[in-house]
Structure 1
């Protein structure tokens, strides 16, 4: 990605404890992930899994969260951050009049499905020119800063030992330990290197020595990890105009994949606010059926069939574990990496939150919500896999038919729907739309494969859903499909909702149907601001949460795709290029964009990156077809 400097002075960073969300890059090993700031600190890292308690959590509390600092001792330095091309290896440069130093950060991944995988954070410091004195401070705070640990020093290593986890820090820089932290300084001349490796491992009683640090081993890990990512990315079939952005998004989706299970998480962070100082702070380290299903679609479009097959395997195991709760239904909106539907939400009251944005929540109470739209996203993803992949099993089909049986009895219920509002259940048009998708795709699969199905009942229900959306989801005065159905809620709803931009994407309406074109016009007038799109207006549709929010990046890419499909190609190209400018310096997106272009919400978000891939791929195809 772009390697230009960020124009940030180190002294400024020292005076403000929280970096902007966008000033981070992501590294990971397909089990966990870490955020590396442009100032050289790792301020977010959960281990050994994405959903484990944090080890470094200064992103949510500068004092109590824990951090790994690695920075020059000089007063000022300009900084740059970029990825090694086609990889998940991140480089942070520090530049002064005296010299330039690179910090190379990565989590080693050497081969797919490695049974011998060891989780490590590797930080290699290289003096490119001149000289610079570097300072390291490793201050873990285990279990979100709640667990006590002790330190033990040895030859070339410091151990951080708690009841649950032992961390082993190895370095060729002399280290001292005090107050539960490790400290070290080193003067680097041109061509010199310093190595730091943090092993995530055993229990408190593990006395096995990690041994002295071998610089040759670090080089092998660097080369092997770069080779792994490049080999993976070579499988991409995308050769279009926006290759750099699409491939960075693909790498991001891969980084959010838990390889041992095939699960795809929504984001690696929790608690990052949708508004600074606000309460919209959620835990996204789980598998949203909706997000993962769309991710499956994006990965399949790029030719990554192994990931698609692994995720369908995860889905199949989830389907086999579905319960019979009549209220919640057989399918939940989200699950843990292991497929557990219980995600009790709790506040981490000892953490102040990013820039004071409290409460910080772990777990997510939205797991208990009824979100009927997930049935459509689930079945659509399986339909696509069945069409373009190896096909679903008999067991999976049997489980799907049982789920559809439940949906046919409950599709006309009130629910919380895609945006997971906490204002109570409503009759959401989007949920009806995706319920229609669920049944329609089941009909297609049954016919394509000759699978056993109650087609008469399914088709009758599908058509009832279609008619209800057309009759109750359309507001003639507004000239648009709207957020909620009319009728039971009293006066006809006139709230616009950007989720309805996907109507032609799921084949519910033709993209140039006058009803959809009119809906686009209404959304453009009310929710679109120079290519950026709000999901809805909370003033018109109160969601029981205080404060405003930014534009939703996934909705912005949905807007691009709606423009594309409706034939407004040049508008779509401009909107896409504008939306690209809101990526951070290494091409990553958080959930939302604020009023001054700042990134807000959990970071990076899979949902946004998959929408980017879909928008770019479809626009490429349309531009080629138009000869533009």
Structure 2
């Protein structure tokens, strides 16, 4: 990707899929197959970018390590069972390996984050060039360079600094100034060569430290500790099914997108990556959606990660507690990782956008939308956590009870729906039936735990919702449940109706709906969330198929008795992963990844589909794991 300082061109943007992800559980970095860090925000996922050339090749900033030739082949892999990324360079002179990782920060929130880049030559000789070109605050903040007397350098702006530490003793060969730090513009460059068995590297650190030389033994110990953390975490998984490698990678990807100080899961670590290249569907996903994170509880519990599920439920209950007494509803649809909700959307006017995809947005204007379905997803996760021993305290139950009273009063108003369209409010079927889920799970919790609750009222409203969905959400001419009562448009979000127990998976009404979706929303096993030409969503352009919806489709097929079709669809879907097993939000017409990357929804739905499909393959079509679905109806 990088041909030299200042030579990035629009055509040089890597494919979205051509990236690996590393992180320290407070922030993360994307590294492309040419060894370039082109996205890194600090000190948190939702902080301004330090490297952002993925969204503007000229202004965004980057850190690259690559062979000093254009004639090379690169390959990427993760060190097995870890989040340590290895980029291999194969040249005519030799083979080198770039090892990238971030030591894990599990404790309190910190401004200090370390990003290690170690290059070793394993065969022959390799000449290389490394460049560090930070651009703070999305390229809006200027900085100065403070050299570190051969120990490294420090990039300093008014509000932020990035330190470059040297690792090990100089072993660089080549020209007279091989291994020396050269100031080039407002960045630096290091060149040199290494022979087989030799290693050189740097550590980038935020938080204000001065440059120093880090002994190689200390760096090796840091890598060993990082390896041990990820392997110990991976070994906690209880999954023993057919797709262990893909499930494990998806689980580690979700862990990488979890903000450890609060337990919040971001939807993606990136912003502005397009759902249609060159289009305007470019959103900031570095926040925690109630919906996404609630579905993650199902995935985490399915793999035995009860601590992570408990941490998110605690985070969710904090949001419920904070909203007590507000007029806007008990919950917002999304928050920052620290639980605040200042997500004002703005446009980076000077950013070119990924391959010209503009506007580039930071913040998210959908944060203040009314999306009634979040109460169903939240209550389903709380109920599922309860069945696994994570019970609510008294105060928590009181606040949940108040929230469900609010649902009783507001479930019948129009909302903006799960897909956050900007085409106005509707009486969305998905929002309606998820309100049914909210009340149903509340009733079950009250009854199973003997908690005080206006159960008669909740039951009355739950049943009223059921009757309305069966009447107004059903389109007799289409023979299907539809997006909302004033349309005949199909909506893939309704694939979760049998999963949530709203309809029996072999109910003729459901089988007819599934057949209609097969005919209209499914393309070679891939599933569109809806047909935007038939249902205007207030945005120009089109989009790819939704990875989340495809995995929902797998589950719906299996529950409805189409087990062979479900397995084939799942296996096909695995072929659309990138070279590391990662998924963006969408898949384009020719199989390209689209949207923010990697996407939490995609990976948690893969886990859920794998766990459920495994159980049904072992026990028979339509049978579901009672441990995972404990308390759910019609399964």
Normalising by the smaller structure, the TM-score range is over 0.9
Partner of 1:382: 382
| Residue in structure 1 matching 2:585, options 582, 591, 601 | 591
Give distance in 2, aligned partners of 1:321 and 1:576: 40
Partner of 2:632: none
Instruction: Tell me the CA shift for residue 407 of structure 1.
Output: 1.1
Partner of 1:146: 140
Partner of 1:619: 613
Partner of 2:628: none
Instruction: Tell me the CA shift for residue 182 of structure 1.
Output: 1.4
Partner of 1:517: 511
| Residue in structure 2 matching 1:134, options 128, 134, 139 | 128
Partner of 1:430: 430
Partner of 1:481: 481
Secondary structure of 2:271's counterpart equals coil
Instruction: Tell me the CA shift for residue 14 of structure 1.
Output: 8.0
Secondary structure of 2:499's counterpart equals coil
Matches within 5 A, 1:247-396: 247-322=248-323, 324-326=325-327, 328-396=328-396
Instruction: Tell me the CA shift for residue 176 of structure 1.
Output: 2.0
Instruction: Tell me the CA shift for residue 500 of structure 1.
Output: 0.4
Give distance in 2, aligned partners of 1:117 and 1:272: 26
Secondary structure of 2:506's counterpart equals coil
Write the deviation string for residues 303-337 of structure 1: whole angstroms up to 9, x where unpaired: 001111111111111111115454x3221110111
Give distance in 2, aligned partners of 1:477 and 1:163: 63
Kindly indicate whether residue 114 of structure 2 is the aligned counterpart of residue 120 of structure 1.
yes
Tell me, yes or no, if the aligned pair for 1:9 and 1:79 is still in contact at 8 Å.
no
Instruction: Tell me the CA shift for residue 569 of structure 1.
Output: 1.0
Farther-moved stretch of structure 1 (184-193 vs 337-346)? 337-346
Partner of 1:5: none
Farther-moved stretch of structure 1 (546-555 vs 392-401)? 392-401
Farther-moved stretch of structure 1 (501-510 vs 382-391)? 382-391
Tell me, yes or no, if the aligned pair for 1:133 and 1:188 is still in contact at 8 Å.
yes
Kindly indicate whether residue 187 of structure 2 is the aligned counterpart of residue 181 of structure 1.
yes
Give distance in 2, aligned partners of 1:266 and 1:235: 23
Give distance in 2, aligned partners of 1:9 and 1:119: 25
Secondary structure of 1:395's counterpart equals helix
Instruction: Tell me the CA shift for residue 138 of structure 1.
Output: 0.2
Instruction: Tell me the CA shift for residue 113 of structure 1.
Output: 3.1
Write the deviation string for residues 159-188 of structure 1: whole angstroms up to 9, x where unpaired: 001111111101254212232211101201
Partner of 1:90: 85
| Residue in structure 2 matching 1:199, options 189, 202, 205 | 205
Tell me, yes or no, if the aligned pair for 2:94 and 2:123 is still in contact at 8 Å.
yes
Instruction: Tell me the CA shift for residue 114 of structure 1.
Output: 7.1
Give distance in 1, aligned partners of 2:97 and 2:198: 11
Matches within 5 A, 1:599-618: 599-618=593-612
Partner of 1:4: none
Secondary structure of 1:272's counterpart equals strand
Kindly indicate whether residue 171 of structure 2 is the aligned counterpart of residue 171 of structure 1.
no
Instruction: Tell me the CA shift for residue 17 of structure 1.
Output: 1.8
**Aligned residue pairs, count:** 608
Gaps of 5+ in 1: 1-7, 203-207
Write the deviation string for residues 415-453 of structure 1: whole angstroms up to 9, x where unpaired: 001000000000000000100000000000000100010
Farther-moved stretch of structure 1 (56-65 vs 156-165)? 156-165
- Superposition TM-score, scaled by structure 1 size: 0.94
Write the deviation string for residues 448-484 of structure 1: whole angstroms up to 9, x where unpaired: 1000100000000000000000011001111100000
Give distance in 1, aligned partners of 2:245 and 2:194: 34
Write the deviation string for residues 347-367 of structure 1: whole angstroms up to 9, x where unpaired: 011101000000000000100
Give distance in 2, aligned partners of 1:49 and 1:218: 23
Tell me, yes or no, if the aligned pair for 2:11 and 2:355 is still in contact at 8 Å.
no
Instruction: Tell me the CA shift for residue 342 of structure 1.
Output: 2.5
Give distance in 2, aligned partners of 1:413 and 1:324: 20
- Superposition TM-score, scaled by structure 2 size: 0.93
Give distance in 2, aligned partners of 1:259 and 1:302: 18
Partner of 1:560: 554
Instruction: Tell me the CA shift for residue 211 of structure 1.
Output: 2.6
Instruction: Tell me the CA shift for residue 13 of structure 1.
Output: 9.5
**CA distance 1:362–1:323, shift in 2 (3 Å):** farther
Farther-moved stretch of structure 1 (429-438 vs 335-344)? 335-344
Matches within 5 A, 1:458-497: 458-485=458-485, 489=486, 493-497=487-491
Give distance in 2, aligned partners of 1:39 and 1:400: 49
Instruction: Tell me the CA shift for residue 99 of structure 1.
Output: 0.6
Give distance in 1, aligned partners of 2:367 and 2:3: 41
Partner of 1:75: 70
Instruction: Tell me the CA shift for residue 75 of structure 1.
Output: 2.2
Give distance in 2, aligned partners of 1:159 and 1:21: 30
Give distance in 2, aligned partners of 1:465 and 1:561: 24
Give distance in 1, aligned partners of 2:110 and 2:330: 36
**CA distance 1:330–1:343, shift in 2 (3 Å):** same
Tell me, yes or no, if the aligned pair for 1:309 and 1:389 is still in contact at 8 Å.
no
Partner of 1:498: 492
